[in-house]
Chain A
Amino acid sequence: MTPLITVDRLTKDYRLTQRREGVLGGLVDLVRPRKRVLRAVDAVSFTIAAGEMVGYIGANGAGKSTTIKMLTGILTPTAGEVRVGGLIPYRQRQSYTRHVGVVFGQRTQLWWDLAVVESLRLLQKIYEVPEADYRQRLDFFNELLGLQEFLHQPVRKLSLGQRMRCDLAAALLHAPRLLFLDEPTIGLDVVAKENVRAFLREARDQLNVTVILTTHDLRDIEQLCRRVIIIDHGKVLYDGLLADLRRGPGHRLRLCVDLAEPVPGQQLAALTADLPVNWDGDGTRPEVPTHRHCATFSRAETNAAVILARVLAAHRVRDMALNEPAIEDVVRRIYRDGLILPVKETAVE
């Protein structure tokens, strides 16, 4: 399938002026400013198919927002290219924006002083949405987002959660083919976050919109995206299915056993000496006998069955549990250790 979005070796440099200290330094700055080049996005490539919902994640300053700004046409790249359905966002910005909806969690896309319904009416006019479509979509948004409660209040009087609901409706009013969400759940309470996620799932299915989502809350990703792209220092660290990320070496499982007799940890470690497994007890030293022991290992290197079989052969086991780490931990390990899977050419199934 032809991808909807093609990003090819996309690169963005910022030129920063470094100020010298003191009055004299200030004068020198005027004459000969000291420039430093910061590469915010470094040869990033990926493709996204129509209808995908992709999580684009990275630490602060990793280059997420810069990429999104180039994808939405606000910023021009230093090198490389973005193509979206045959258009180049930063060259054909005004035509392109008709197909795009954007939600920035940090600031609203609506007019601060206008009532919500007036903002939507103005957007209807700007995007030339036919009246029948407008009504139909407003009904859809009302049903899922409950806008009617505050439709006639000015945006500045809304709570953060209410405002986010309005922003989502505003971004989708013209039925864009593409939706960019930059931290859509930031600052929201648990219930409001859940509502936003439920709406996004529904919107994706009903409006056939392709979604790119950046977030710090990895539960957003877990609940919405099958595919993630992880970016760090401007480069793609991982591009693939979330499920594959779980199977990768960065994904450490934890098998805990509760033994009938207390045993020192070093005995268990000896059982699996040939396997890449780390044993720890309840915070005790390896020579102190305890009931409970946990093995941490990577599914890419060994598996729970092998470890458990060796433990069962030597000891009586009362109980056991296998814990999957949260996606947060997986991503944290990727950041910290740079443990990555080979970046696939295309991760589109």
Chain B
Amino acid sequence: MTSVAPAPYLTAGAPRSRLARARRQIGIIGAYFAQFLKMRMAYRADFLVDLAANLFAIGIQLATLSVLFSKVPSLRGWSFEQVLFIYGFSLLPLGLFNLISVNLYGFASHYIADGHLDRVLLRPVNPLAQVLCESFNISGLNEMILGCGIMIWAGLALGLRPVVLDMVLLLVLVPAAASIYTAVFLSLAAVSFWHEDRLGLAPPVYNVIRFARYPLTIYGYGVRLILTFVLPFAWVAYMPSLWYIGGAELRRWALATPLVALLVAALAYGVWRAGLRRYASTGS
């Protein structure tokens, strides 16, 4: 049989179930993660330096808190242990966010100005998944481990007796809070599709995260409004922590966290998609 030139038709690929697609995407993310973990491990000295830096920064913040509470018994009704608990909790989603989302931080310069987005768009994988997966910041793991330690310590001091539901809820609240961080920085990254500002808004917004580590009620009305509705960092530590330390009245607020996360993430993804469409029409 003579070989026949294949018909010049390309297929859009066999239709796949949502589950099969999700499994493929997760498989790829796993492969990326394994590769970049290996790569980071190659720089073991960096890893240790990062750990030391994290320990130092967190140590300073803890020292500040303890000095503060040596002068006053409580902050607007919040005890040292309660504030410590919120602080510890805040490190979990922050660590998770730092782990996977470093690329959003330098998105404008690396992906748009230097043109790496073209490469991303030439591959059959969701562009956002690629951007998130192309680099990991391992020191995020340090923050998560230290946060866990601080939270457990504060929890013991507060005499918390966690039941199974509390633990399960933690597994929902932490990723939800992390996706709020991610959504905020995704929106900022997407803004660079319109506004070619290399510096961007990311660093100042990153600084606002610091406000999120303390009970919301210690701030004035304006700051509270902003942190709840504009830059919704109230939902990354304070609100979810209420489930554990908030008492019967306040704790149900924590349950709104996943809803807020979904809403903010959907909004941010919409902006991102609009940005990608704009990129496709301007090429810059």
Residues of A within 8 A of B (CB): 1-4, 14-15, 49-51, 66, 69, 72-76, 84-87, 90, 92-100, 102, 104, 107, 109, 111, 113-114, 118, 121-122, 125-128, 177, 208
Contacts and interface: CB of A to CB of B under 8 A. Distances in A.
Given A74-B118, A74-B121, A107-B115, 8 more contacts: A50-B5, A51-B5, A74-B122, A94-B125, A95-B12, A97-B121, A109-B119, A114-B35
Looking at B13, B115, B126, B283, which has the most chain A CB atoms within 10 Å of its CB?
A: B283
Interface of B: 5-13, 24, 27-28, 31-32, 35-36, 38-39, 115, 118-119, 121-126, 134, 277, 280-283
Contacts of A85: 8-10
B119 A69 contact: no
B115 A95 contact: no
A87 B12 contact: yes
Contacts of A109: 119, 122
B123 A126 contact: yes
Nearest to A85: B10
Mostly helix, strand, loop or mixed at chain A's interface?
Answer: loop
Contacts of A49: 8
Nearest to A49: B8
23 contacts: A1-B8, A2-B8, A49-B8, A69-B118, A74-B122, A74-B283, A75-B283, A84-B10, A85-B8, A85-B9, A86-B9, A86-B10, A90-B280, A94-B124, A96-B10, A97-B124, A99-B10, A102-B122, A114-B39, A121-B35, A125-B27, A126-B125, A208-B6
B121 A73 contact: yes
A69 B27 contact: no
A100 B122 contact: yes
A10 to B, nearest CB: 14
Contact of A75 (B10, B27, B35, B280): B280
Contacts of A94: 124-126
Contact of A177 (B10, B32, B126, B282): B10
Contacts of B24: 128
B21 to A, nearest CB: 11
Contacts of A2: 7-8
A14 B282 CA distance: 6
A98 B280 contact: no
A19 to B, nearest CB: 12
Contacts of B134: 111
A97 B120 CA distance: 11
Nearest to B7: A2
B8 A4 contact: yes
B13 A95 contact: yes
A50 B8 contact: yes
Given A125-B31, A126-B123, A126-B125, A76 B6 contact: no
Contact of A15 (B27, B28, B32, B282): B282
A97 B281 contact: no
Contacts of B281: 75-76
Given A114-B39, A122-B35, A125-B31, A76 B280 contact: yes
Given A14-B282, A100-B122, A113-B39, A122 B31 contact: yes
B127 to A, nearest CB: 9
A126 B124 contact: yes
Given A76-B281, A125-B27, A87 B10 contact: yes
A64 to B, nearest CB: 13
A118 B122 contact: no
A3 B9 CA distance: 10
Contacts of A15: 282
A118 B121 contact: no
B32 A122 contact: yes
B27 to A, nearest CB: 7
A126 B12 CA distance: 16
Contacts of B28: 125-126
A128 B124 CA distance: 10
Contacts of A73: 121-122
A74 B280 contact: yes
Contacts of A125: 27-28, 31
Nearest to B276: A93
Contacts of B123: 97, 126
Contacts of B39: 113-114
B200 to A, nearest CB: 18
A206 to B, nearest CB: 12
A41 B124 CA distance: 27
A50 B6 contact: yes
B13 A69 contact: no
A66 B281 CA distance: 11
Nearest to A100: B122
Contacts of B27: 125
Nearest to B121: A74
A94 B7 CA distance: 21
B139 to A, nearest CB: 17
A94 B283 CA distance: 17
Contact of A98 (B7, B35, B118, B124): B124
